[in-house]
């Protein structure tokens, strides 16, 4: 017989045919768009921008601190973007916000008079910052206040510089009030009026990342962190929260920006959050305070008791005054701030004083904040009070004893990991510790249930359970110093491939005539209970290897094929459809379905 050389394969998508009335055409609904943070394995350039544009997206911002692009894309194309080998992760741009603040008193109470009409806020007094001021005011130390802005015209504040990343604004002037209150706690002037801050000669920079309503986006926070790093800031204060921190696992771009800023030498300070319970139980520190590079500061009242809603947990580092703190207010006046939004700037101000005293390494500043704190709660570090209440005078006059420094614990993970903290294998956990004080590490302990139960670490162990896991660990040295806050490692395990189905119809075409096209439809499904579907693809091949086609990621479609045979095979032709789905952990599930066109 004569062998036909031509195979016609027409690929299409099953469409709903819409009947339209002439003169009233029906337009397709526009795609749902989403702002996403696209992180690449290498710093993005023109090719990466073109990738986003090829998927119907728009590049909104290209970061330099991290290899990330902020883009606006159709939601239906996000899996295709994730499937590109250059892409490490694709994350929705999460929101951040100010914590709800309880109202303060309407008139000053408990403040100490200084000269003229200036008062010493009780928080500045409680941490003994005023005892340092005769010789150290934090002069010229650059402190970036990432917030709603700072009131440029306030007589008790000097704004050294400003920038905004909030749409619809042109500078870092405050339009909410929160940022001005925070700035005054850090650096209100010593000028015989109003109040005095912890570091009254620090250089305050208004980095506006939150809008008039106190809300914002992770993308803008990252921009503020990047600007601060690029422009030589030495301390960043962040009195807000949100953006994803749960189970020790955060958003990749946000976390990477904080880690890179910390590696560049900046001190990062944030309130632990106001999600705590009255009994102080649970791990509820929010982001960014929960991330390792950030000093998480809880709030105390004027009796040194923990404020009832101050967040607690394994990442809590120190405490600072945070109830009815009198400070500068938007509009040139004064007001009160309560919560960890008020405690964080006390610690940021103290960091400025320490840098001005000669400590230049951010790790040394961080350790000094902890080691000089007044112990509160249970002896040593604890999840309700951290290392205790900061004290500026003690920090500046601190004298290193033979071994006052706690050990430093590190958790290492090994396994087959894909992007975004997902492992598709068991995970081996190794814990190590170093004691910089010289007495040596006595022991390390770890917990797998958020600190409720602790085990002495003796050797690496393996976590086999699928789902989210959190390991926290701390160490003690031979001088009795205990570590706090704890080190932690959050990860997810998904060893199960996606479940997929694929049905083709018809499965067989009998008595097919030469030269006639026959339609075969295919319908697939896929699901993944743990990490979720990352990408999928359907391919079509024939039994002879003559045709190999890619039908793409659409699960429902059709092809038109022809009856055709090769050589002495007169039975017809078998077409194989194959659906392959990948989950976020990198597991692959696949299934095949066949249809035969018979002569």
pLDDT attached to residue 546: 67
247-267: pLDDT as tens digits: 566 568 999 999 999 999 999
pTM: 0.84
Average pLDDT over residues 196-215: 98
**What does the pLDDT read at residue 108?**
41
Is the pLDDT at 22 greater than 60? The verdict is no
Q: Is 478 in contact with 439 (CB distance < 8 Å)?
A: yes
pLDDT beyond 90 at 594:
yes
Tokens found for residue 452: 């409720």
- Lowest-confidence pick of 107-111, 531-535, 549-553: 107-111
Instruction: Reply yes or no on whether 375 is catalytic.
Output: no
Check residue 421 and give its pLDDT.
Answer: 75
Note the pLDDT of residue 244.
Answer: 60
**b/e 210-237 (16+ beta carbons within 10 angstroms → b):** bbeebbbbbbbbbbbbbbbbeeebbbbb
Q: What is the mean pLDDT of the chain?
A: 88
Distance CA 573, CA 575 (A): 7
Most confident residue range from 71-80, 149-158, 248-257: 149-158
| pLDDT for residue 536 | 86
pLDDT at residue 566, rounded to an integer: 61
* Domains parsed from the chain with CATH numbers: 33-96 (3.30.70.80), 112-396 (3.40.50.200), 408-493 (2.60.40.10), 497-598 (2.60.40.3880)
Out of 125, 147, 156, 528, the active site residue is 147
Query: What does DSSP assign to residue 129?
Result: G
CA-nearest of 332, 327, 334 to 173 is 332
Structure tokens at 561: 């094929």
* pLDDT surpasses 80 at 23: no
pLDDT at 17 over 60: no
Maximal CA-CA distance, the chain? 111
Residue 307 pLDDT grade (very low, low, confident, very high; cuts 50, 70, 90): very high
Q: How far apart (Å, rounded) are the C-alpha atoms in residues 429 and 162? A: 44
DSSP 76: G
Burial class (CB in 10 A: 0-12, 13-18, 19+), 23: exposed
The whole-number pLDDT of residue 268 equals 99
Which of 9-23, 66-80, 218-232 is the most confident on average? Answer: 218-232
Q: Dig out the tokens for 47 from the structure.
A: 């090719």
- Express as a percent the part of the chain with pLDDT over 70: 88
What is the structure's pLDDT at 249? 64
CA gap 43, 163 in Å, rounded: 25
CA 576 and chain centroid, separation: 43
Query: Is a pLDDT exceeding 90 seen at residue 446?
Result: yes
With bands split at pLDDT 50, 70 and 90, how would you rate the model's confidence at 565?
Answer: low
Mean pLDDT throughout 111-134? 87
**Active-site option among 94, 287, 311, 341:** 341
316: part of which helix (H) or strand (E)? Answer: strand 316-321
- Residue 476 near residue 379 (C-beta atoms within 8 A): no
Question: Where do we find the tokens 């190999």?
Answer: 548
pLDDT of residue 545: 72
Let me know if 147 is a catalytic residue: yes
Q: Which residue has the tokens 């590190």?
A: 410
The set of long-range contacts for 43-52, using a CB threshold of 8 Å and a minimum separation of 24, is 43/67, 44/68, 44/69, 48/86, 51/81, 51/84, 51/86, 52/81
pLDDT of residue 10: 40
pLDDT 10s digits, 454-490: 999 999 999 999 999 999 999 999 988 888 888 999 8
Lowest mean pLDDT among 107-111, 203-207, 363-367, 402-406: 107-111
Instruction: Evaluate if residue 229 carries a pLDDT over 50.
Output: yes
Distance CA 39, CA 47 (A): 14
Residue 15: predicted pLDDT: 27
178 is annotated as an active-site residue: yes
**In the predicted structure, residue 107 carries a pLDDT above the cut 90:** no
Three-state SS at 499: strand
Residue 26 has pLDDT above 50, yes or no: no
Q: Quick check: helix, strand or coil at residue 184?
A: helix
Residue 27 has pLDDT above 60, yes or no: no
Residue bearing the bigger pLDDT, 106 or 238 = 238
Using an 8 Å Cβ cutoff, are 596 and 572 in contact?
yes
Percent of the chain with pLDDT over 90: 69
Q: What is the torsion angle, in degrees rounded to the nearest 10, for the CA atoms of residue 93, residue 466, residue 418 and residue 424?
A: -160
Two tokens, residue 522: 């295919």
Rounded-to-integer distance, Cα 138 and Cα 161, Å: 17
340-356 helix and 178-187 helix, angle to the nearest 10 degrees: 40
Q: Residue 115 above 70 pLDDT?
A: no
Confidence at 567, pLDDT banded by 50, 70, 90: low
Q: How many residues does the chain have?
A: 599
Give the pLDDT score at 109.
Answer: 44
- Asked if residue 11 has pLDDT above 60, the reply is no
3-state secondary structure of 228: helix
Express each pLDDT in 358-399 by its tens digit: 998 999 999 999 989 999 999 989 999 999 999 999 999 987
Q: Which candidate in 94, 133, 154, 178 is catalytic?
A: 178
Whole-number Å distance between alpha carbons of 203 and 352: 9
Using the predicted structure, report yes or no on whether residue 6 has a pLDDT greater than 60: no
Are 43 and 67 contacting, i.e. CB atoms less than 8 angstroms apart?
A: yes
Residue 28 confidence (pLDDT): 53
List the single range of 79-93, 396-410, 572-586 with lowest mean pLDDT: 396-410
DSSP 8-state assignment for residue 130: G
């Amino acid at each position: 017989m004569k062998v036909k050389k031509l195979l016609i394969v027409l690929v299409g998508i099953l469409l709903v045919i819409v009947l339209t009335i002439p003169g009233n055409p029906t337009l397709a609904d526009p795609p749902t768009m989403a702002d996403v943070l696209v992180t690449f394995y290498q710093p993005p350039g023109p090719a990466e921008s073109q990738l986003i544009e090829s998927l119907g997206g728009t590049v909104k911002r290209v970061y330099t601190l991290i290899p990330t692009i902020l883009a606006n894309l159709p939601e239906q194309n996000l899996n295709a973007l994730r499937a590109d080998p250059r892409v490490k992760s694709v994350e929705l741009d999460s929101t951040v916000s100010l914590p709800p603040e309880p109202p303060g008193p309407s008139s000053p109470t408990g403040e100490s008079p200084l000269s003229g009409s200036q008062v010493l806020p009780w928080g500045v007094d409680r941490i003994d910052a005023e005892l340092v001021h005769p010789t150290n005011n934090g002069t010229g130390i650059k402190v970036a206040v990432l917030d709603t802005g700072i009131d440029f015209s306030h007589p008790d504040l000097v704004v050294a510089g400003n920038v905004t990343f909030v749409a619809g604004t042109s500078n870092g002037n405050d339009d909410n009030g929160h940022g001005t209150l925070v700035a005054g706690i850090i650096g209100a002037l010593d000028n015989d009026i109003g109040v005095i801050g912890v570091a009254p000669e620090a250089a305050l920079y208004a980095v506006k990342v939150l809008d008039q309503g106190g809300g914002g986006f992770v993308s803008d926070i990252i921009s503020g962190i990047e600007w601060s790093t690029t422009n030589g800031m030495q301390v960043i204060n962040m009195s807000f929260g949100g953006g994803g921190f749960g189970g020790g696992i955060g958003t990749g771009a946000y976390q990477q920006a904080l880690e890179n800023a910390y590696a560049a030498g900046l001190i990062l300070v944030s309130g632990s959050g106001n999600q705590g319970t009255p009994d102080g139980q649970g791990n509820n520190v929010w982001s960014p305070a929960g991330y390792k590079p950030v000093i998480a500061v809880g709030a105390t009242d004027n009796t040194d008791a923990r404020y009832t809603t101050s967040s607690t947990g394994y990442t809590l580092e120190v405490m600072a005054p945070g109830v009815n703190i009198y400070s500068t207010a938007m509009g040139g006046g004064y007001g009160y701030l309560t919560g960890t939004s008020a405690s964080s700037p006390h610690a940021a101000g103290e960091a400025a004083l320490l840098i001005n005293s000669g400590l230049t390494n951010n790790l040394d500043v961080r350790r000094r904040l902890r080691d000089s704190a007044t112990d509160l709660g249970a002896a040593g570090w604890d999840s309700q009070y951290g290392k205790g209440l900061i004290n500026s005078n003690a920090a500046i006059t601190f004298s290193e004893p033979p071994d006052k420094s706690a050990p430093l614990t590190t958790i290492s993970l090994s396994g087959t990991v894909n992007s975004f903290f997902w492992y598709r294998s068991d995970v081996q956990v190794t814990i190590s510790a170093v004691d910089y004080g010289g007495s040596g590490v006595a022991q390390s302990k770890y917990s797998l249930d958020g600190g409720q139960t602790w085990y002495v670490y003796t050797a690496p162990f393996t976590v086999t359970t699928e789902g989210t896991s959190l390991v926290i660990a701390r160490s003690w040295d031979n001088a009795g110093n205990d570590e706090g806050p704890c080190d932690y490692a959050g990860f997810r395990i998904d060893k199960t491939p996606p479940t997929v189905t694929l049905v083709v119809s018809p499965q067989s075409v009998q008595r097919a005539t030469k030269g006639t096209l026959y339609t075969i439809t295919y319908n697939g499904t896929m699901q993944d209970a743990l990490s979720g579907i990352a990408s999928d693809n359907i391919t079509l091949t024939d039994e002879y290897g003559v045709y190999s086609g890619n039908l793409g990621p659409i699960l429902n479609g059709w092809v038109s094929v022809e009856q055709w045979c090769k050589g002495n095979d007169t039975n017809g032709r078998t077409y194989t459809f194959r659906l392959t789905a990948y989950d976020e952990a990198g597991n692959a599930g696949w299934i095949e379905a066949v249809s035969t066109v018979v002569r």
